[in-house]
Chain A
Amino acid sequence: MTAAFLGIPAPPGAGQLRGDRSFPSAARDALGDSQLRRNLGHATGVIRAKRATAVGELDDWEQLRLAGEAIKRATMARLNDHLVRLEAEVTARGGTVHWARDVNEANAIVTGLVQATGATELVKVKSMATQEIGLNAALADAGITAHETDLAELIIQLGDDVPSHILVPAIHRNRAEIRELFLREMPGVDPSLTAEPRRLAMAARAHLRRTFLRARVAVSGANFGVAETGSLVVVESEGNGRMCLTLPETLITVMGIEKVVPSWRDLEVFLQLLPRSSTGERMNPYTSIWSGVTPGDGPRAFHLVLLDNGRTAALGDAVGRDALHCIRCSACLNVCPVYERTGGHAYGSIYPGPIGAVLSPQLTGIHSGNDDNASLPYASSLCGACYDVCPVRIDIPSLLVRLRTAHVGAARARPLPTAEAVTMAAAAWVMSSPTRFAAAQTVSRLGRLGGRASGRLSSLPPPLSAWTSSRDAPRPPGPPRRRSASGGPAPAAAPRRRRRIRRSRREGPRRGAGPHPGCERQRRRRPRRCGGRTAMSTFPATTTTAAARRPAARRCSICCAAGSSTTGRPLSTRPPATSRPRSAQP
């Protein structure tokens, strides 16, 4: 694992998988943007509800998830075979396959292919792979203009922004912001544009239509590549993809190597899982599938660029490779409470949210303890919501813990231990011995000196000050009322109590002699006589309603309940003491 986590030496700074600062630092700023928080909270809430409805319609959703997981696992186990098959089939149908080890190779291949056509501009379908390699910037360096045609990607491009979501890249923008952006950046836009979604879409459509008809080259990604027939699949909602994939003369597709599926039967499962998980639709409006080149129909030249960029390294780890099962539906982003508050930019990578937190560090590798991507596995409260919605059942919380473990392992190798390492070592030393643990509990009672008035601690020294900056901490507990079962020394008052218990076992409890000694523990925890008035006394219940049963309750379940026949007679002679002083609660 460590080797895979430390990763292959990817070109430093290349690609869009690493931010320029750590998650906590970026998140702190993002949290201060109330507009962002409002936009994200609203948008993720809407998609969450849509997804829940769409998924709830299917009785066999869990079986589909299991099938998706099984297909992905089997595919990854023989990924090399499937890729070679894909290459052979694409080539046999008139396409050309290129293999790109990293970002630089991929960009060089695509740029070279575009330059060979003589084109200086191209249209693009929304694609995470081309975002990952930063293709637009590389093309711009070569004097080629790339036009994003997906509405959200267009918004991102016009605003010189970075995607903050896998599926809805402009989720951090609202209608008013988009209107302002269009008025400012879109050439020839109607100045009376309103923020009505339909009007905004029409403006984008008019703007894009001219570009579609002009462009001779298109670049796309791929949601799936079917190995058995060399077919590529793009799943989309707006129809811009269909335009890009059919109108231009040359089509270049950049696909991560993990996107291959062996057969059409496998595709059937994913075409059910993906739309419901991502947009909450039963079926997405446009599913385009093409195999190589068809004379007289669509592009005359087709190139497939297969991108590794760290995927082989991730595949090297038997558990970490689960992250490669991702079909980029972004359901985990929409349910993630961390993502909902910080937004995607805080993650630095173009793969944000829970899946980004496991995928990005694995793809880039972690090059030092201070690597910004090393902070990503910690950007989760491990609440598990992502695992529950993942259509291919990627156990993201476990992967996060695994990446944390690998990071800690690397940190241990440092000559100077971190403060956290010292804390954890001390905790391990204390907690591996019952005696030391008991002693530590005693010492912790010193903490009771603080916060006496309020019963809470409102300020603690670093690093716990991060807790008390916004939350009170509980005061350490006082002396225990009884010894724990986990190996402490025998209770001090034992001899007398033991004698009483032994006698009661022999003779049964004495009437009027106070509570049954067997109840001692119960009584000491809550200083009241059981006498039939504790909750425990009524249980197991025999009558139906609470009101009907309560006055009749007169038996202590610890010593006198039916079934514990060894310890005898009911203890019900004592009159109910209604005016007994109430003792203080812990």
Chain B
Amino acid sequence: MPARRSGWSATTSRCSPTPTSSSPRPARTRVRCATSYATLARDAGDDALARRAEAVSARTYELSELLVDVLGVEDVGAYYPHRVTYHPTCHSLRVLRVGDRPLRLLRQVAWMTLLELPEAETCCGFGGTFAVKNAPTSTAMLADKMRHVLGTGAEVATAGDASCLMHIGGGLTRLRAATRTVHLAEILASTQAGGGRAGVR
């Protein structure tokens, strides 16, 4: 994925058959990363790869889509006694169009305080190789995102995309900030028996 988005599409074509052809056979696949298949299907330059990617993406759901749309569940019985803010990542929002499904799931989590993130829909500045090739600009975007995250007073920032979390989390730990990043799936899977401690840094 990063290779394709950086212009190395021939490189990606060589790699892609591995994930797409050997992808799990069941009719429903749960994909935690919001990025992969939809973007692949959209960007795929060569037709054969595009067809395969589309075949896979037809039976692929983003986690919150799977839970809310396919399984019809909003309350997954999770327990997470923390103050949490949610960053709707660019690919969740504008490629996969998951809308407010993650928020609907999060609102049902027991003992959790969900805090609204200002300017939530602005990119955190990750953008794959953009973070390295335009590191200063990427950092400026990250700084504003972190300012908003820290301003909410949340202990935990969550999102449905591991790469955004790596970026925001990397910035927060560098600042020794009191906010950590936890994947949406970890929050939804955390329980009272587990102590609601998913993702302790």
A residues with a Cβ closer than 8 A to B are 23-24, 27-28, 31, 37, 337-338, 341-342, 377-385, 387-388, 398, 401, 403-408, 420, 424-425, 427-428, 431-434, 437, 454-456, 458, 463-464, 466-467, 469-474, 485-487, 526, 528, 533-541, 545-547, 549-550, 553, 580, 582, 585
**B135 surroundings in chain A (CB, below 8 A):** 466-467, 469-470
Known: A337-B141, A539-B77. A471 touches B192 (CB 8 A): no
**How many Å lie between the Cα of A537 and that of B135 in the bound state?**
44
Closest chain B CB from A380 CB (angstroms): 7
A378-B133 CB under 8 A given contacts A424-B8, A432-B14? yes
Bound Cα distance from A437 to B191, whole angstroms: 34
Partner of B174, one of A455, A458, A549: A458
Shortest beta-carbon distance from A561 to chain B in Å: 12
Residues of A within 8 A of B6 (CB): 378, 404, 408, 420, 424
Provide the B130-161 mask, 1 if CB < 8 A to any CB of A, else 0.
11111111111110100000000000000000
A406→B45 CA distance, assembly (Å): 12
Give the nearest-CB partner of A412 in chain B: B10
Q: Does B193 contact A (CB under 8 A)?
A: yes
Residues of A within 8 A of B77 (CB): 535, 537-539, 541, 546, 549-550, 553
State A483–B122 Cα separation when bound (angstroms).
Answer: 36
- Can you name 5 A-B residue pairings with CB atoms under 8 Å? A338-B134, A383-B122, A424-B6, A533-B193, A585-B199
Does any Cβ of A come within 8 Å of B58's Cβ?
no
Instruction: Point out which of B24, B133, B171 has the most chain A C-beta atoms below 10 A from its C-beta.
Output: B133
Question: How many angstroms between the C-alpha atoms of A463 and B174 in the bound complex?
Answer: 19
**Given contact pairs A425-B11, A466-B132, A471-B171, A31 touches B140 in the complex (Cβ within 8 A):** yes
Which residue in chain A gives the minimum CB-CB distance to B198? A585
Judging by beta carbons under 8 Å apart, are A338 and B192 in contact? Answer: no
Q: Which residues of B contact A469 (CB under 8 A)?
A: 135, 139
Q: Is the CB of A456 within 8 A of B43?
A: no
**Which single member of B15, B23, B122 contacts A428 (CB below 8 Å)?**
B15
Closest to A24 in B: B134
Do the beta carbons of B136 and A24 come within 8 Å of each other? yes
- CB-defined contacts of B99 to chain A, threshold 8 Å: none
B125 in the interface (beta carbon within 8 A):
yes
Chain A residues in 8 Å Cβ range of B14:
428, 431-432
Q: In the bound complex, how far is the Cα of B190 from the Cα of A536, in angstroms?
A: 9
Chain B residues with CB below 8 A from A404, complex form: 5-7
Q: Is there contact, CB below 8 Å, between A405 and B9?
A: yes
Judged by a CB distance under 8 angstroms, whether B123 is at the interface is yes
Give every chain B residue within 8 A of A458 (Cβ-Cβ). 174
Q: A-B pairs with CB below 8 Å: how many?
A: 217
Q: Separation in Å of the A516 CB from the closest CB of chain B? A: 17
Known: A405-B7, A539-B77. A380 touches B127 (CB 8 A): yes
Q: How far is the CA of A474 from the CA of B8 in the complex (A)?
A: 25
Q: Is B42 an interface residue (CB 8 A)?
A: yes
Q: Let me know if A382 and B201 touch, CB within 8 A.
A: no
If A338-B137, A463-B132, A546-B110 touch, whether A384 touches B170 (CB-CB below 8 Å) is no
A585 to chain B: which residues have CB within 8 Å?
Answer: 197-200
CA of A431 to CA of B191 in the docked complex: distance in angstroms? Answer: 36
Least Cβ distance of B149 to chain A in Å?
A: 14
- The answer to whether B194 touches A382 (Cβ under 8 A) is no
Question: In the complex the two chains form, what is the Cα distance from A380 to B22 in whole Å?
Answer: 32
CA distance A408 to B133 in the complex (A): 14
Closest A residue to B17 by beta carbon equals A432
